[in-house]
Amino acid sequence: MVMEKGAMREFIADHTSGCRLLVVGDIMLDTYFYGEVTRISPEAPVPVTHVIRQKDTLGGAANVAHNLALLGCGTSLAGFVGRDHHRDVLLDKLNARGIVSDGLISTDAPTTTKIRVIGGHQQMLRLDFEDTAPVSRECGNSLQEYVKRRLHEGLDALIISDYGKGACTPAVCKGIIDLCNSACVPVIVDPKGVHWEKYAGADYITPNFKEINQVQPEPIANTNEDIETAARYVMDKFRIKHVLATRSACGLSLVMGSEVKHIPTKAQEVFDVSGAGDTVIAVFALALAGGLSPFEGAYLANLAASVVVAKLGTYAVSREELLGVLK
């Protein structure tokens, strides 16, 4: 049974600061150029956008950490960055939010960066700076050693945020999950691709409908019955303990063995779903770290996602905004 809103408000308002979470995964910088389309270029048949402002935001695993930090918990981030200007911008953003960044490992690859040009409310162009090759064994071992040290210091939960950019190799995921299992620290995974065997042993996985559909032997519909069947297939085939599926307009479904909870979405005009999955996994993991039940965590995550999808671009929900929808 879902807890009373008053108790949930008390947790978010007063009891998140004692929680310690580590996010491991593909770290990104999202840069937005906002402007107005003024004319067609004489050089080529493309629109000319007059840039009015630029905004740099934390993306990927860094956006998960951003969500956690805004909700007031002790947040650390680990993964790989380049030796470039984009890394410097990202570090400034992390430091400004109080996110511990000593787990960032510099490599020869560029810092993964997505540059978007927005004309009015329409995305005109996206530029990607990235190298998606799997990280070297040496880099992967360094990341696992960092996780091992942080577990020894004390963590309440660990999130693996896999965006398929090379950080979350099978060896890295297996090593981290094994370390967390030995330390009795819950691991929550946001998956990518179809090779979910690398997440074996994780406590929770948080796929969206497209992602969970891709790993099924046959296509499924976005119905409660099909999602339950699909979740149990995932738990059996990939040895993942529980599934929290995000289903767009159909809300969330939490499947834990014989226990199932379907949470309908909160009615909201949707502008952009960018980062909604980051918010879901952040709020859900924070709730688990704070001692709430998985069902309570899923309820809170659903409310938080309703805030994010009403915003344009990558967005992290604040404590005040989450308290606002809990009124």
pTM of the predicted structure, to 2 decimals: 0.94
pLDDT in tens, 77-117: 999 999 999 999 999 999 999 999 999 999 999 999 999 99
Q: Which amino acid is at 195?
A: H
Q: Chain-wide mean pLDDT for the chain?
A: 94
Residue 275: its pLDDT value, please?
62
Question: Residue 78: which H helix or E strand, with range?
Answer: strand 74-81
Residue 269: its pLDDT value, please?
57
Domains of the chain listed by start with CATH number: 5-28+60-110+132-325 (3.40.1190.20)
Question: Residue 172: which H helix or E strand, with range?
Answer: helix 170-183
Question: Residue 129: which H helix or E strand, with range?
Answer: strand 122-129
End-to-end CA distance of the chain: 19
Q: Are strands 187-190 and 157-161 parallel, antiparallel or unpaired?
A: parallel
- Rounded Cα distance between 103 and 84, Å, is 17
Average pLDDT over residues 55-59: 96
Q: Which amino acid is at 185?
A: V
Whether the pLDDT of residue 327 is over 80: the answer is no
Confidence band for 271, pLDDT divided at 50, 70 and 90: low
CA atoms within 13 A on the CB side of 179: 23
What is the 3-state composition of the chain as percent helix, strand, coil, each rounded to the nearest 5? 40, 30, 35
Confidence band for 121, pLDDT divided at 50, 70 and 90: confident
Nearest residue to 165 (alpha-carbon basis) of 110, 96, 86? 110
- Tell me if residue 278 is catalytic: yes
> Directed axis angle between helix 276-289 and helix 61-70, to 10°?
50
28, 33, 83, 91, 111 from 86: Cα distances, Å: 9, 15, 8, 9, 6
Active-site hit among 30, 162, 190, 278: 278
pLDDT in tens, 306-320: 888 888 777 889 999
pLDDT in tens, 202-232: 999 999 999 999 999 999 999 999 999 999 9
- Rounded Cα distance between 256 and 228, Å, is 10
Cα-only R_g, the chain: 19
Residue 1: its pLDDT value, please?
47
Average pLDDT over residues 246-270: 86
67, 202, 216 from 235: Cα distances, Å: 27, 10, 12
Residue 207: its pLDDT value, please?
98
pLDDT in tens, 225-256: 999 999 999 999 999 999 999 998 899 999 99
